Amino acid sequence: MKKIGIMTTGGDCSGLNTVINRIVLGATNRGWRMVGIIDGTDGLCVRPANVIEMNTDTVPIERARLAGSFLHNGNACTMMNFESAVKNGRMKQFNKMLHDSLTALKLDALVLIGGNGSFSLSWKNRDIYSGLSLVCIPKTIDFDIPLTDRTIGFDTATNELVKYCDQLLLTARSHHRWFVVQSMGRECGRLALNAGVAIGADAIIIPEIKFSVDNLIKHIRGVDHDYGIIMVSEGITIRGSSGRPADMISRKLTAAGIMNRAAFPDYIQRAGDTVAGDRILAAKMATAALDAIENRETYVMTALRGNECVTIPLSEFYESGDIARDPNIPDLYTSNAYVEPDDPLLGVAGAMNIYIGDRK
């Protein structure tokens, strides 16, 4: 009987519990035993490793829609353990500890549900996973992972942002005022762009496209209404300004006499009930991951290509994209997929008379 481990790493998002549920269902169906590693790699840093036996009751079907991870993500402590290992030059010992824990668990395979950081570190430190089959499933509200048409959590985050803006628009209209809404997404503008198009924002400012505050103001002054949403991605900067991006833009609008407020949906974007699109994606990715284990694949990630889910080597993930490295942690990528200049959604936004920066 195969023994499979599963863990969730990095920032959480909605959809993790659906993946866990679908993996356990599929594994049970194949007659495999499942263990869940608690708190991501933190669970492997203690002796004995912090694991639980899993069955279809661990994340029952009616709870699989809930955000967060029933296995926990263990971010704070992971980063403490990890950063102190980096700082003290003890990466070898840290990696060995993880490897020894996995070996002691006698796993045939590990399903790692993670994002850019976890994938890049797993590939760079792949000896940790030698002797078992490592299959990664991409999750992130930022959708900043290349080579897949979607990541788990992105659709739900977009939906949460849309619901938030829909409500704001009602009060915006009453007071003839604009809301500058700051989306999450790190250096990737996909979340802001998708939500902005969905709600019919009047402007969408993302890190990938140059913009000027003067042109934004000109645009807002030129529309035939006096309220609406200006969607601003958290990754943008304005030369000579400091503070949160939405506050920076808000101050400039106020100075130009445009009534507005800044608004911050923050972690709500990670916390909505999982929408159908993410649940179906979770089911597809779980099935692809289990097939990969059956076929003895390793160091792969699942990826959506059109309607189908495939696996691709982690090396391809690592080598692709325009990479943003974390200055503090060698080998950690914070983002390597962005809104491309030819993204059709940019054209759609333009056709809707949304200001999306100064595109050529």
Catalytic residue among 142, 155, 202, 278: 142
Q: Which two tokens stand for residue 244?
A: 């949160």
Q: Which stretch binds ligand F6P (CB under 6 A): 85-93, 183-191, 203-211, 281-289?
A: 183-191
Q: Which stretch binds ligand F6P (CB under 6 A): 136-144, 255-263, 325-333, 341-349?
A: 136-144
324 binds ligand F6P (CB under 6 A): no
**What is the distance of C-alpha 332 from the center of its chain?**
15
Q: Site mask, ligand F6P, residues 208-247, x = CB under 6 A?
A: --------------------------x-------------
Q: How far apart are CA 341 and CA 360, in angstroms?
A: 9
* Cβ contact 206:217 at 8 Å: no
184 binds ligand F6P (CB under 6 A): yes
Among 141, 220, 281, 300, binds ligand F6P (CB under 6 A): 141
Phi and psi at 257, nearest 5°, equal 85, 15
Q: Closest distance between ligand F6P and the C-beta of residue 133, in Å?
A: 27
- Closest residue to ligand F6P, judged by C-beta, is 184
Place of tokens 């009453």: 174
Among 4, 9, 11, 333, binds ligand F6P (CB under 6 A): 11
Closest to 140 (Cα-Cα) out of 182, 181, 190 = 190
Q: Which stretch binds ligand F6P (CB under 6 A): 58-66, 83-91, 184-192, 217-225?
A: 184-192
Q: How far apart are CA 155 and CA 138, in angstroms?
A: 13
Q: How far apart are CA 296 and CA 54, in angstroms?
A: 22
Distances (CA, A) of 124 to 162, 318, 325, 332: 37, 9, 13, 9
Q: Which stretch binds ligand F6P (CB under 6 A): 24-32, 118-126, 180-188, 307-315?
A: 180-188
Does residue 142 carry a catalytic annotation? yes
Closest to 123 (Cα-Cα) out of 85, 94, 112 = 112
186 binds ligand F6P (CB under 6 A): yes
| Cα atoms found within 13 Å of the Cα of residue 45, Cβ hemisphere only | 17
Binding site residues, ligand F6P, CB under 6 A? 11, 140-142, 184-186, 234, 270
Q: Which residues are catalytic?
A: 142
